[in-house]
C-alpha cells in the first residue's frame, strides 16, 4: 500500500498495482499557481508543455509587427491550451486573474493517454473546440459594428462560463478591445449604450454583467 497526495492536496491510499500509474501521472502533470499578469509562456519559446485551466482565466495573444497586441482567445476552467504541432509556441499566454493550471509535458502525452484515456479525449475535444473558436473569432472580427461584436462576445462568454445570465467579466476593457479589434474607449462606450438600451445591466464598476435581453443581443448577432 502507498499513501500519496493528490492534486487537491488530499492524502489518499492506493495499491501497489496502481502506484506506478499515480506516480507517472504526478511526474508529468504539475499544478502551478499564477498571479494576475504572470506569463505562462512566451511566443517563440520551446513548446514543452500544454495546460489545463483548473481555476481562473488565461489569455493567449500575439504581438503584431506594429507592436499592437491581438488576443486570439480566453481560456476558462476546464479548457486545455498550448498543445502545439510545432516545436515552439506560436503565441504567448498570460494569467488574466489569479489562476491555477495543470501543466503536462508534451513528451509524456503517450504515457498520459495510456494511463488516463479521458485526458486524451479532453485534449482532442479541446483541439476541436479551439478550431471552432478560431473560426468564430474570425466571424466576430468581421462584424460591422461594435454593438454586433460585443453582443456576440457577451453571449459567448455567458455560454462558456456557464453561470447563467449574470456573470463577472474576468478580463479588462483593454483585453476585450484587443480581442475584438476595437479601442478600449469604444468598448466602454458601447457597453454603456447597451446598458441604456436595457440590453444589459452593468454592475460593480462594470465588471458584473447581467444580460437583460438575450433575444435582443441575438438579433444584433444575427
Task: Tell me how far the alpha carbon of residue 183 is from its chain's centroid.
Answer: 22
Give yes or no for residue 54 having a pLDDT over 80.
yes
Say yes or no: 154 and 131 in one domain. no
pLDDT at 94: 97
Q: Cα–Cα distance between 31 and 50 in angstroms, integer?
A: 12
Quote the cell numbers at residue 170. 474576468
Say yes or no: 9 and 93 in one domain. yes
Domain residues for the domain of 68 are 2-136
Share of the chain above pLDDT 70, in %: 86
pTM attached to this predicted model: 0.80
What angle is formed at CA 36 by the lines to CA 51 and CA 75, rounded to 5 degrees?
35
Of 136, 169, 201, the last residue of a domain is 136
Q: What CATH number is associated with residue 39?
A: 2.60.120.10
pLDDT band at 206 (very low <50, low <70, confident <90, very high): low
Quote the cell numbers at residue 202. 452593468
pLDDT band at 129 (very low <50, low <70, confident <90, very high): confident
Say yes or no: 111 and 187 in one domain. no
For the chain, the average pLDDT equals 83
Element (H, E) at 53: strand 49-55
pLDDT at 107: 81
* pLDDT average, residue stretch 89-117: 87
Share of the chain above pLDDT 90, in %: 54
Higher pLDDT, 53 or 28: 53
Say yes or no: 117 and 69 in one domain. yes
Q: Cα–Cα distance between 77 and 56 in angstroms, integer?
A: 6
Q: Cα–Cα distance between 53 and 59 in angstroms, integer?
A: 11
Of 101, 121, 136, the last residue of a domain is 136
Of 112, 136, 160, the last residue of a domain is 136
Q: Look at the chain and report how many structural domains it folds into.
A: 2
Amino acid at each position: 500500500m502507498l499513501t500519496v497526495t493528490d492534486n487537491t492536496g488530499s492524502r489518499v491510499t492506493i495499491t501497489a498495482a496502481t502506484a506506478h500509474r499515480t506516480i507517472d501521472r504526478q511526474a508529468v502533470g504539475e499544478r502551478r499557481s499564477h498571479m494576475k499578469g504572470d506569463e505562462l509562456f512566451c511566443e517563440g519559446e520551446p513548446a514543452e508543455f500544454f495546460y489545463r485551466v483548473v481555476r481562473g482565466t488565461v489569455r493567449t495573444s500575439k504581438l503584431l509587427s506594429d507592436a499592437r497586441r491581438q488576443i486570439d482567445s480566453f481560456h476558462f476552467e476546464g479548457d486545455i491550451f498550448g498543445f502545439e504541432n510545432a516545436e515552439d509556441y506560436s503565441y504567448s499566454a498570460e494569467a488574466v486573474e489569479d489562476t491555477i493550471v495543470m501543466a503536462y509535458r508534451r513528451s509524456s502525452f503517450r504515457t498520459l493517454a495510456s494511463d488516463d484515456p479521458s485526458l486524451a479525449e479532453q485534449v482532442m475535444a479541446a483541439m476541436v473546440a479551439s478550431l471552432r473558436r478560431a473560426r468564430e473569432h474570425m466571424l466576430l472580427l468581421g462584424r460591422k459594428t461594435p454593438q454586433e461584436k460585443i453582443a456576440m462576445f457577451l453571449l459567448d462568454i455567458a455560454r462558456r462560463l456557464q453561470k447563467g445570465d449574470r456573470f463577472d467579466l474576468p478580463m479588462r476593457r483593454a483585453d476585450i478591445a484587443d480581442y475584438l479589434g476595437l479601442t478600449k474607449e469604444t468598448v466602454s462606450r458601447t457597453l454603456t449604450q447597451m446598458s441604456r438600451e436595457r440590453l444589459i445591466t452593468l454592475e460593480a464598476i462594470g465588471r458584473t454583467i447581467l444580460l437583460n435581453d438575450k433575444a435582443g443581443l441575438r438579433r444584433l448577432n444575427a
